[in-house]
Structure 1
Amino acid sequence: MKTNPFTSSIFENTWSKHFNGGKDLVAFEFIKGLKFVKNSPNGIYVNAGRNLTKGLYYDLDLTKSDYKGKTFLIYDVPSYFDLEEFNAASNSSLRLKTVFQYQGFLMDITSFNSQDEYINSQFSSKNRREFRSNQRRLETCFDIDYSFIHGAISQVEFDALFKHFYALLSKRFADKQTNYHHLSARKWSYYKDLVFRMLQEKKASLLVISKTNTPIGITLNFHAEDILFETITVFDPDYYKFSIGKTSIIKLLEWCFENNYRISDFSKGDFSYKHKWSNLVYDFHYHILYDSKSIMSRLRAQYAVSYYKLKLYLREKKVNELYRKYKFFITGGHKEKDDKAYESYRFEKMNDFNPSEDYESVDFELEMYRFLRQFVYTFMFANPESIKNIKVFKNKVKNEFVISGSKRSQKIIFD
């Protein structure tokens, strides 16, 4: 791999600035393509970026011996990167241990001519009609714009966009009542710094789906020469009926075909949509390189193997999911009170609705009525028409609302 974004100077320097105090990273002659930082508590050298990369590639030069007495941990080496198989040389004491950690998922589009051809190979005609219908309904109901930012962007425009990105992610994981580690102040500051710099050099991109100039879906990607790494994706849960996530994948596929990319990599994280869209499942391994003639190096290597096997075991038992939910609550995470107050509701069918003096018109786009949006958008999905035609009325006495379109209406009664 010639242009891995996760070993670029921008990536390494930005990571060091935020997580290594800006100190110089350490390079070794025996290993090409990677730089390291020494983990003080256990004395192991860890790759720059640690687990914030989406895949690392490296070459070994066994004629060099500056690994002597040391142990090295390399996170996230994908099996499909086809590193040269490690064979211990007779004149070298360098050895390798590998530990499986995650499965990864990707779309290999090398043998396909278009996104339609690839989608046809993965999905039934019923599924394909659903994709087209969802996108058509989205565009019928709202003023939708698709933009792929892959190059220079002003700081002002970027800051505004990343603010929306943060808000969408915060809303998404608050609804799931789960802590999302990328939203910590330190990591988000890192991403904001990194992505702006990497956009300028086309090592990163942002796919943005906007409704009337307001982002409702954003995907952050990093780029190798012909691989797109889909890194963080989010969409506004109020629009979940419209399946914006599927539309995002289709738009990314379109871009990959238009720009001669051969792989769109979903990376690690076991989600049902990845199984459905991917045509290749691969493994992420952690590589541990050590000096077999050094007792301390061997002990450190064995410690690392045992530690990450334990982490894998706990992850398979879903302990990490419980931990994220626990952390969500102890760090002050919660649903908004207004959202909780309107969790219990029922619908009532209406053939016609003519607002009487008991009802007053309300603007459901106002923040005070944000709890209504998911109901309004779901109604619109079932009855597609422009949002300009949709009105919402509130009963002045009872806790009920009416969503009214040009042809149909629906009453929501909150308990």
Structure 2
Amino acid sequence: MVLKKMTRKKSLKQLIFSRHIDNWQRRILEPTLSLPQRTHIFAPMLIQHNPFLSPTFTAVWSKHFAAGETLHTSDFLPSLKFTKHKKLPLYTNVGQTFTKGINYHINLEKTLGFNNKVFLIYDIPGYFEVNTQTTNDIGLHRSKQYPGFLIDLTQFKDLNSYLASAFSKSSRYKLKKYKKRFETSFDVRYVMYKGAMSRDSYDEIFESFRQLLEKRFHDKQITNNNLDPKEWKFYHEVTYPMLLEGKASLFVIYDGKKPIGVTLNFFSENILFDAITVFDIDYAKFHLGSITIMALLEWCLENNLKTFDFSKGFYDYKTRWATTTYDFEYHIYYDTKSILARSIALSLKKFFELKQQLRQKDINEKVHRLTYRFKNRNAKPKESKTYVFTEITDDIAVDDLRSLSLEKPENRDLKLMVFEYLYLNDDQYRDIIAYAVPNTTDNFYIIGKTKKTLATLAYETDNQKHQN
């Protein structure tokens, strides 16, 4: 009898582990680190029109991740739909870890169908108003997972009032400088696509979105969950109909006709959820991340949104911009009278505690870097570049020189050097002509409307830096 009980307990843990190991591998991206001291506390919010509970999101998610499965409902949790484990009485909310926040309500008068069951609900933000009252027959385990970050916009009348509250005078000067230098150097447009957009334009932007993400994470030499083909197909399919419904948007920064920054957002009645954001790393000198946030905040304030939610995961930039930090929780409801349900619920709780411990030890970062290296074994070491600019006052016989196209991939290093030059000088990219200096490989002439410059490029690999 003892042997039989031990064997059953072991197989139960294996079943739960096999069900959730994919989520662990996919979602262990962001570590939980110490949170910033600057935190504004406000009352829990009643969420209206949660986009992640919409029929469109539910249908598309089910098509991609629960094809052929029956969706289940519970009178106890009437606002949610669930998928069922193939062998266990375990029900998991539709959307799982793909949402940026789930809210729900419970009906304590409808608990008859709860016998022997466990309900797992992912990603409940701490600032959502959620009633978690239970009874003697229904237990609840709460598992804190990722930190979340948001800006409470109700305190501010415009972008300047927010910046004055959040940043020092010198920091505000730098932010305005980044934006001014960026907009002076390039043909910049900001477009928020929400409510109307042609399918062809959408597909073109989403392809640019993917390419920018690939470029960004190739530069970081780390894998990115969003670029998993199955996950990316889901986002590509779900975003367009939700954009037409006004529940999602694509915020795009253009240089001329070329997208150089894309942010996927979702919307409840009063909240913007920043889901995925990326910018062209070639423009990193101009701090497109900060420029994107300022533009989105300005749009939110002009459209009377109350909350800008950076969503889950710790990143340094979030601590600088957020007014409030909170925790994402997983909620596990179970039948307290059932030994099986209690065992499943406790096993899940322990499993999520293990995930949290791994995040705190930064195992996730190491796993993703090792995964990248395994998939890109022939990748060259990253090189750091040093630029030296020397102004030329003499005339240059440009007719005898070979001009270089800055848009050719093989001239990317030269293009980055020109971007560095533009950040330091009052010239525009469209006016720049670059020439190769004869009999050299790392010297170039940069000719703009305001000045002529000799530019020298030097390389150093990361391995060389560490050796030094």
Deviation at 1:229, TM superposition (A): 0.2
Matches for 1:86-125 after TM superposition, within 5 Å: 86-90=132-136, 93-125=137-169
Secondary structure, counterpart of 2:114 in structure 1 = coil
Question: Are residues 1:379 and 2:421 paired?
Answer: yes
CA distance in 2, matches of 1:101, 1:291: 23
Read off the aligned partner of 1:203 and give its amino acid letter. K
Contact 2:436 2:445 in 1 (8 A): no
Q: Secondary structure, in 3 states, of the residue corresponding to 1:31?
A: coil
Counterparts of 1:42 and 1:371 in 2: how far apart (Å)? 56
Correspondence for 1:289: 333
Matches within 5 A, 1:15-94: 15-40=61-86, 43-65=89-111, 66-84=113-131, 86-90=132-136, 93-94=137-138
CA distance in 2, matches of 1:333, 1:16: 36
Match of 2:182 among 110, 113, 138: 138
Contact 2:118 2:335 in 1 (8 A): yes
Q: Does 2:434 align with 1:392? A: yes
Q: 1:344 to 1:201 in 2, by over 3 A?
A: closer
Output one character per residue of 1:194-252: Cα deviation in whole Å (capped at 9) or x when no partner. Answer: 00111010100111000011011111100000000001010111111111111111111
Is 2:149–2:312's contact at 8 Å kept on the other side of the alignment?
A: yes
Which of the numbers 359, 366, 371 marks the counterpart of 2:408? 366
Compare 274-283 and 64-73 and name the one that shifted more. 64-73
Let me know the Cα RMSD of the aligned residues.
1.9
Partner Cα distance (2:326, 2:86) in 1: 32
Compare 387-396 and 3-12 and name the one that shifted more: 387-396
From 351, 354, 363, the equivalent of 1:319 is 363
Q: CA deviation at 1:108?
A: 0.4
Letter aligned with residue 54 of structure 2: S
Mean CA deviation greater in 215-224 or 353-362 = 353-362
TM-score of the aligned structures, taking structure 2 as reference length? 0.83
Change beyond 3 A, Cα 1:313–1:273: same
1:199 counterpart SS class: helix
- TM alignment of 1:272-351, pairs within 5 A: 272-332=316-376, 335=379, 343=383, 345-351=385-391
Shift of 1:116: 1.3
Deviations 1:321-375 (A, max 9, x none): 111111112234765x6x96xx365444423172568842101112221232222
- Work out the CA distance in 1 between the residues paired with 2:270 and 2:213: 28
SS of residue paired to 1:220: strand
Q: Secondary structure at the match of 2:317?
A: helix
Query: For 2:267 and 2:288, how far apart are their aligned partners in 1?
Result: 22
C-alpha change, 1:22 and 1:219, in structure 2 (3 Å) is: farther
User: In structure 1, what is the equivalent of residue 213 of structure 2?
Assistant: 169
Q: Residue 59 of structure 2: SS of its match in structure 1?
A: helix
Counterpart selection for 1:402 from 439, 444, 448: 444
Change (3 A) 1:275 1:346: closer
Identity of aligned residues (%): 38
One-letter code aligned to 2:221: Q
Query: Does 2:264 align with 1:220?
Result: yes
Which amino acid in structure 2 is aligned with residue 75 of structure 1? Y
Change (3 A) 1:37 1:398: same
Query: 1:120-269 maps to which residues of 2 (within 5 A)?
Result: 120-269=164-313
For residue 23 of structure 1, report the CA deviation from its aligned partner: 3.3
Q: Structure 1 length normalisation: TM-score?
A: 0.94
Distance 1:275 1:5 in 2: 25
SS in 1 for 2:155: coil
Contact 1:174 1:334 in 2 (8 A): no
Q: Deviations over 1:40-95 (max 9, x none)?
A: 365421111110101100111111122211111111101100212x33335xx111
Q: Is the 8 A contact 2:186 2:428 kept in 1?
A: yes
Which shifted more, 108-117 or 257-266? 108-117
Consecutive unaligned residues of structure 2, counting only runs of 5 or more, are 1-46, 460-468
SS in 2 for 1:60: coil
Distance 2:236 2:397 in 1: 48
What is the letter of the counterpart of residue 195 of structure 2?
Answer: G
CA distance in 2, matches of 1:309, 1:355: 69
The number of aligned residues is 408
**Structure 1: any 5+ residue segments left out of the alignment?**
none
| Corresponding residue number in structure 1 for 2:4 | none
Provide the rounded CA distance (Å) in 1 between the counterparts of 2:95 and 2:327: 19
Rounded Cα–Cα distance in structure 2 between residues aligned with 1:156 and 1:94 = 50
**In 1, Cα distance between the equivalents of 2:445 and 2:340?**
70
Distance 1:276 1:206 in 2: 24
Distance in 2, Cα, partners of 1:225 & 1:185: 31
Shift of 1:388: 2.3
Measure, in 2, the Cα distance between the counterparts of 1:355 and 1:302.
78
Give the secondary-structure state (helix, strand or coil) at the position aligned to 2:127: helix
Query: Partners of 1:142 and 1:387 in 2: how far apart?
Result: 6
| CA separation of 1:182 and 1:334: change in aligned 2, threshold 3 A | farther
- What secondary structure does 2:151 align onto? strand
Asked if the contact 1:390–1:403 (Cα under 8 Å) also holds between the matched residues in 2, the reply is no
Distance 1:35 1:130, change over 3 A: same
State how far apart, in whole Å, the 1-side matches of 2:458 and 2:230 are.
40
Aligned CA distance change for structure 1 residues 22 and 390 (closer, same or farther; 3 Å): farther
